[in-house]
Amino acid sequence: VYLLDEGDVRARCRAYREAFGDADVLYAAKAFLCRAMTHWVREEGLGLDVCSAGELELAVTAGFPADRIVLHGNAKSPDDLRAALRLGVGRIVIDSASEIARLAAAVPPGSRQKVLVRVVPGIAAGGHAKIRTGTDDQKFGLSIADGSARHAVARILGQPTLELVGLHCHLGSQITTDKPYLCAVRRLVGLMARIRDQHGVPLPELDLGGGYGIAYRPGEQALDVAALARKVRAELAEGCAAAGLPVPRLAVEPGRAIAGPAGVALYRVLAVKRTGTLTFVAVDGGMSDNPRPALYGVRYAPRLVGRRSTAGEARVTVVGRHCEAGDVLAADTPLPADVRPGDLLAVPVAGAYHLSMASGYNLVGRPPVVAVADGHARLLVRRESLDDFRGRDVGL
């Protein structure tokens, strides 16, 4: 089961609002989304960043204002774009040149859709190569270096149904220093100045994305958000003054940094196996509910909960129940030496990119999400059941 601390989520939303002042703070729904989460972030004054028609529909049908939503995606489907236009999404982020004409043709007659251009600033940042998105060798965005971004801007400005309101970039995930963001501000301000000089258009918005790093284990570094906000605002003001530009309205997109630390994954130990020098502690979940260790080599710090142990510490490998040797949740991690079947293990910092990336592997079923607040618990997302598996399988 996933436990999610509502008070912690709300406090982190407020911390971002306070740090960034009058900037737009958009919660990145890809980290974790459910109807309750949309209510929490809306009530705390945040907007929303979504990546599909599914995320968009869930948010809007839960009462989230569509005009406070930004739609992303490197390969938006026709359904994604139709849903965004039908529901009146606030911004659509253009990610490729081919998207421009398709979106422009889909906008209803007599209306205009506000768009941003996702720019690749050529900055390598992030905790792993698979989550670095600010360089020219990955699938997102339009490059500054090869002129793709400027070409896209020119094409958008020629489309009467599209209103270009700004630039967007996202450098990656798990970034723990402010230098990449400050470098991105400088490069995007430079591009905004060139757009102003070439087209006479000062763009009023700048979205710097998210990717703010958090600590998954004791001693790991996390990004100082308050310090980052001060430096980014100063860098933006200084750069715009030097270029003779009005300071654009800033937007940021925290996801993991809001949901991640607020979540705990709770597992039941099913088996303990000692082979040679290794001890494997197998639990009732694994890569189907948390693929991140297998994908990125992420490390967690499980804790024994529910009983006190006086045993000494042992180094163990916590593994899942799935049919993969790589189904490892935590390698070489300390747990009490008397850990046994039936014990409960809690994995902190499990609120982001767990359930949102969960799969149906081995038909184990996705776990439920339970919110805790003021000493009370309530079910937000029910456990996936055998009836769900049977109901989706309609052929024979």
Q: What is the predicted pLDDT for the residue at 127?
A: 52
Rounded CA-CA distance 342/162 in Å is 58
How much is the pTM?
0.94
Strands 369-373 and 303-305: unpaired
Question: Judging by beta carbons within 10 Å of its beta carbon (0-12, 13-18, 19+), is residue 199 exposed, middle or buried?
Answer: middle
Active site residues: 323
Residue 363's pLDDT is what? 94
Q: 235-238 contacts: CB < 8 A, separation 24 or more?
A: 235/182, 235/185, 235/186, 236/185, 236/189, 236/206
The answer for residues whose C-beta is within 8 angstroms of residue 391's C-beta and 6 or more apart is none
Cα separation, 347 vs 242, in Å, equals 48
Give the three-class secondary structure for 281: strand
Interacting residues of 236 by C-beta distance below 8 A, sequence separation 6+:
185, 189, 206, 247, 248, 250
What letter would DSSP give residue 139?
S
Q: What is the structure's pLDDT at 32?
A: 97
Distance CA 394, CA 396 (A): 7
Splitting the chain (396 residues) into consecutive groups of 10 residues, what average pLDDT does each group show?
Answer: 98 96 96 97 98 96 97 93 96 94 94 95 62 59 89 96 96 87 93 96 95 91 93 96 97 96 98 93 96 88 96 96 94 96 97 93 95 97 95 90
- Is residue 227 classed exposed, middle or buried when 0-12, 13-18 and 19+ CB atoms within 10 A define those classes? exposed
Rounded to the nearest 5 percent, the helix, strand and coil shares of the chain are 35, 25, 40
List of domains in the chain:
2-259 (3.20.20.10), 261-387 (2.40.37.10)
Give which of 236, 154, 159, 271 is closest to 201, Cα–Cα.
154
The answer to whether residues 372 and 3 touch, using CB atoms and an 8 Å cutoff, is yes
List the beta bridge partners of residue 24. 251
Pairing, β 369-373 against β 376-381: antiparallel
